[in-house]
Amino acid sequence: MTQKLTDRPISIAADHRGVALKARLKAWLLANGYTVKDCGTDSDAERVDAMDYALQLAAEIKAGRSDFAIGICGSGQMMAITANRFPFIRATLLHAAEETVGAREHGDANMLVLGADATDDVTAEHILKAFLNTAAVGERYAARRERLAKLDISGL
């Protein structure tokens, strides 16, 4: 593992379809020296709405309790769509570790989203490792990130 990008807890949450993958990634984080804030859910027995957990993850980042979050639902779509409603969230739905570098270096993604139905445990761990070991490229993409944070589509 390279130098950690944060000393704050990594917030993680999943809906009922992502519970098993969340447990696996939480164990990986703890084994690799990260502190974890588990925002739920803990059971796959009852259907829950991924949107509720994406909102909890966004709240953790907004409050400064976490620099990074991980959201997991069946497809990953609802977590990503919900989280990206907030200008301080840059959620990226990833399917392969190779996609991760661009999302972190160019977009400074602060929320990793995974689809539990389409992502096996090994691939998810590779994606997570790449996500947490890739820093944003400083000045080259800073203007893009600032512009993105100010984007307001309500006037369209």
Three-class secondary structure assignment of 39-73: CCCCCCCCCCCHHHHHHHHHHHHHCCCCCCEEEEE
Q: b/e map of 10-23 (b: 16 or more CB within 10 Å)?
A: bbbbbbbbbbebbe
Cβ atoms within 10 Å, residue 35:
12
Tokens linked to 41: 């859910």
For the annotated catalytic residues, the residue numbers are: 106
DSSP H or E stretch at residue 113: strand 111-115
